[in-house]
């Protein structure tokens, strides 16, 4: 048993793509060896309920109750609530499944009583038998605002109601200055981490809010563990979601070079897909080229193993004493 096997891993992730790799990491690591910090910039109040789309995607995925096709929400979901809502004349642009509703109702009650989002999430994860620390990026209220050609839109307005149609001019995270990482995050980074993995989520919408929480990026940079990003780009475009369109609108090339540049100063290595192997030429950190598309559970586990093994090679570099190696 090597030393690395005893150490824990920290993953940062947003929704669907990130959750897939988080599940892979969860399955290849031992119980309690994975912590996942999740974007909450997409959280919003809907119908008086506190909805945390990325946290729920991660919790449902790790808990084995996520819908495998839809990419969000719960498996074998039903929609009677939405039907009744429409009948009573209310807004039905944001779908809430009957099973999914349970977590929103419980969370809203919890938060209204003064409980923290992190404590709620840990409790729910426990009840779903998840042996992973699932942590919101912060317990503070942060809202991702998408500045578009049509003005500012709350993330869900942009993403769900407007289906990412308005061209994006910029992104900001309202409330971020007053936020701080959750206490569990501080405890996790104080441990001897084996690796920090940035999952293949949208860098601008899903990962940047996490990195923008004051003190969070600095803690990762200061830590001894290598930081490895898994690029969300495959074959010159994002697997899912608005990443490709958004990168173009923001005047960025849709390349892994642009992703690596985006994370410059933070990452010690990047994992890209074979389809984009040529991109490695323009990346100035170590690169692992492999298959990053995760169709099956096996894909998730294989990629998790490869990312960790790649990171472990970087560990050696990070572990170099500042004074240099003794002469042979």
| Binding residues vs a second copy (CB under 8 A) | 47-49, 65, 74, 77-78, 80-81, 83-85, 87-90, 97-103, 105-106, 108-109, 112, 123-124, 127-128
CB of 85 to a second copy, least distance (A): 4
Beta carbon of residue 98, minimum distance to a second copy (angstroms, whole number)? 4
Alpha-carbon distance of 232 to 273, in angstroms, equals 9
Q: How far is the CB of 129 from a second copy (least distance, A)?
A: 10
β partners of residue 270: 229, 287
Judged by beta carbon, residue 88 or residue 325, the one nearer a second copy is 88
Per DSSP, the residues of 22-86 read HHHHHHHSPTT-EEEEE--TT-EEETTEEE-HHHHHHHHHHHT-B-TTTSSSBTT---HHHHHHH
CB-nearer residue toward a second copy: 109 or 282: 109
Cβ proximity to a second copy: between 127 and 298 the closer is 127
Q: How far is the CB of 112 from a second copy (least distance, A)?
A: 6
CA distance 186 to 200: 23
Name which of 73 and 242 has its Cβ closer to a second copy: 73
Residues in the chain: 328
Q: What is the DSSP letter of 231?
A: P
Q: Which is nearer to a second copy, 84 or 224 (CB)?
A: 84
Q: What share of the chain is helix, strand, coil (3-state, %, to 5)?
A: 40, 20, 40
Backbone angles phi, psi at 272, to 5 degrees: -125, 165
Phi/psi for 117 (5° steps) reads -65, -35
Residue 2 or 76 with smaller CB distance to a second copy? 76
Q: Which is nearer to a second copy, 47 or 250 (CB)?
A: 47
SS3 242: coil
Beta strands in 214-286 (DSSP E): 227-230, 233-234, 237-238, 269-273
Q: Are 266 and 227 in contact (CB under 8 A)?
A: yes
Instruction: In angstroms, give the least distance from the CB of 107 to a second copy.
Output: 9
**Beta carbon of residue 123, minimum distance to a second copy (angstroms, whole number):** 8
- Other Cβ atoms less than 10 A from the Cβ of 32: the count is 10
CB of 119 vs a second copy, minimal distance in Å: 14
């Amino acid at each position: 048993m090597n030393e690395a096997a005893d150490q824990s891993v920290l993953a940062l992730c947003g929704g669907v793509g990130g959750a897939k790799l988080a599940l892979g990491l969860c399955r290849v690591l031992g119980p309690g060896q994975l912590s996942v910090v999740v974007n909450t910039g997409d959280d919003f109040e809907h119908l008086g309920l506190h909805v945390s789309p990325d946290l729920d995607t991660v919790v449902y995925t790790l808990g084995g109750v996520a819908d495998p096709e839809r990419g969000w929400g719960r498996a074998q979901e039903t929609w009677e609530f939405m039907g009744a809502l429409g009948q009573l004349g209310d807004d039905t642009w944001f779908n809430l499944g009957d099973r999914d509703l349970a977590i929103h109702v419980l969370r809203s009650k919890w938060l209204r009583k003064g409980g923290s989002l992190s404590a709620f999430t840990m409790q729910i994860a426990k009840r779903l038998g998840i042996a992973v620390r699932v942590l919101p990026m912060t317990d503070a209220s942060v809202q991702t605002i998408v500045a578009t050609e049509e003005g500012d839109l709350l993330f869900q307005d942009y993403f769900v109601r407007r289906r990412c149609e308005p061209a994006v001019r910029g992104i900001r995270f309202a409330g971020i200055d007053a936020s701080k990482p959750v206490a569990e995050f501080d405890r996790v980074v104080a441990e001897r981490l084996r690796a920090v993995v940035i999952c293949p989520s949208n860098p601008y919408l899903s990962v940047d809010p996490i990195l923008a929480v004051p003190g969070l990026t600095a803690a990762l940079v200061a830590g001894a563990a290598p930081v490895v990003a898994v690029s969300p780009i495959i074959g010159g475009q994002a697997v899912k979601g608005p990443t490709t369109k958004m990168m173009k609108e923001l005047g960025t090339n849709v390349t892994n070079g642009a992703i690596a540049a985006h994370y410059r100063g933070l990452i010690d290595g990047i994992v890209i897909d074979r389809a984009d192997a040529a991109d490695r030429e323009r990346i100035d950190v170590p690169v692992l080229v492999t298959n990053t598309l995760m169709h099956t559970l096996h894909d998730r586990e294989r990629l998790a193993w490869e990312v960790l093994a790649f990171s472990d090679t970087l560990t050696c570099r990070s572990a170099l004493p500042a004074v240099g190696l003794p002469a042979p």
